[in-house]
Amino acid sequence: MELLHTFFQKIPMAALFVAVAIGYWVGNIKIGKYQLGGVAGTLLAAVIIGQVGVPVDPVVKSMMFALFIYATGYVSGPQFFASLNRKTVSQLHLALISAMAVFAFIFVVVKVIGFDKGTAAGLLAGAITVSASIGTSGEALHRLGLAADRVKELEANIGVTYAITYLFGMLTVMFFASRVAPRLLGIDLKREAQKLESALGGTGTKLAPGQFEAFGALRVRVYEVAADEAVGMTVSDLEARFDVRVERAADIEHRINVTPDLTLQSGYRLALQGELGDVFQAGNFVGQETPNLSAMGFINEERGVVVTRKELRGKTLAQTKETLDLKHRYGV
């Protein structure tokens, strides 16, 4: 223990990475259908490592808290204001009542049991799983005029209590929302989720997670330039004539940089993308399809996208997809 204490005293940053590494490893452990997840696992790991003694500069604490609040507002702020309408206004009473009920309950518990201010703040933050309460509580402690040692002790109590109660708060919400609440409301959660997915997607297909339609609108085929008519033609001329796109080009085993003015030469291999009929026509014009895919390096990948265009608000995924013509869907 003394060795770890000395190590973290000299390299405090190591404690952060050790906590994250252990936390995500613990968070991936499944107990039945449930698992803690990286956040809860990291909190528990950090509490244990913190018992060894890890010095953290006050400036770093303030900076990290400010970044956390900024990131939270950056993510949640636009969603909050975008969702404000007549339907959500009628639900404000639920948020107000919940906030007052939770605060009153925590206040009574703290008074009855006799918790100190730090433990009380950690209990509130962890029970409602609101990390921002930690920073605001810490700032409030510094303004109470307490001794430095007492403030440090109370801040430690905030972190420990928060980490422990966060686990129970998170698991309780998960269990209540997935098991208890649907039964109280008489809702078949699985069926309603499928209906919502179908409504948002607009396709009516039932695909399992990770599945997608095999017959998409766009296809990619590789052809070798051999026809006399194609030799000497530029990429822009070929794309305009057959409404396809040249995604990749290669000569023998070397990839060629595709530009609109690239002149096709005999033996070039072209990865053509577009609607299947157009690709076939362009390919037959160019030459013959080839199984040689070396140096092509054309792959598909998934990306997360944040919708910012106002004209897309309120549209289903299927409707949004139709707003993009084939030209803008190339490579996507």
Per-residue confidence (pLDDT) for residue 45, from 0 to 100: 83
Which candidate, 76, 98, 160, places its Cα nearest to that of 126? Answer: 160
Dmax (CA) for the chain in angstroms is 91
Instruction: Measure Cα distances from 31 to 36, 90, 129, 235 in Å.
Output: 9, 38, 21, 56
Q: Is the pTM of this model over 0.95?
A: no
> Are the C-beta atoms of 255 and 297 separated by less than 8 Å?
yes
Per-residue confidence (pLDDT) for residue 214, from 0 to 100: 65
Lowest mean pLDDT, pick from 9-13, 48-52, 70-74, 237-241: 48-52
Count CB-CB contacts under 10 A for residue 148: 8
| Mean pLDDT computed over 19-45 | 82
| Mean pLDDT computed over 73-98 | 78
Per-residue confidence (pLDDT) for residue 215, from 0 to 100: 66
The residues facing 288 across adjacent strands are: 224
The residues facing 245 across adjacent strands are: 273
Give the confidence band of 86 by pLDDT, cuts at 50, 70, 90: confident
| Mean pLDDT computed over 46-51 | 77
User: Is pLDDT of 43 > 80?
Assistant: no
Distance, in Å, from the CA atom of 187 to the CA atom of 192, rounded to the nearest integer, reads 8
First to last CA, the chain: 53
Higher local confidence (pLDDT), 318 or 169:
169
Torsion, Cα 204 208 209 212, to 10 degrees, reads -60
Give the confidence band of 209 by pLDDT, cuts at 50, 70, 90: low
> Are the C-beta atoms of 226 and 232 separated by less than 8 Å?
no
| Mean pLDDT computed over 148-160 | 85
Q: Please, what is the average pLDDT of the chain?
A: 82
pLDDT in tens, 99-144: 899 889 999 999 999 999 999 998 988 888 787 788 788 888 888 8
Host H or E run for residue 97? helix 92-113
Q: At 84, is the secondary structure helix, strand, or coil?
A: coil
pLDDT in tens, 176-200: 888 888 888 888 888 888 787 777 6
Per-residue confidence (pLDDT) for residue 41, from 0 to 100: 82
* Three-state secondary structure of 106-169: HHHHHHHHCCCHHHHHHHHHHHCCCCHHHHHHHHHHHCCCCCHHHHHHHHHHHHHHHHHHHHHH
Distance, in Å, from the CA atom of 318 to the CA atom of 311, rounded to the nearest integer, reads 14
User: Is pLDDT of 238 > 90?
Assistant: yes
Give the confidence band of 298 by pLDDT, cuts at 50, 70, 90: low
Distance, in Å, from the CA atom of 250 to the CA atom of 234, rounded to the nearest integer, reads 15
Which candidate, 267, 259, 268, 266, places its Cα nearest to that of 236? Answer: 259
Q: Does domain 218-303+310-317 have CATH number 1.20.58.110?
A: no
User: Is pLDDT of 210 > 70?
Assistant: no
Per-residue confidence (pLDDT) for residue 55, from 0 to 100: 76
Distance, in Å, from the CA atom of 20 to the CA atom of 253, rounded to the nearest integer, reads 43
User: Is pLDDT of 233 > 90?
Assistant: yes
3-state helix, strand and coil shares in percent for the chain, rounded to the nearest 5? 60, 10, 30
Domain ranges of the chain: 2-198, 218-303+310-317
DSSP 214: S
Most confident of 57-66, 201-210, 227-236, 291-300: 227-236
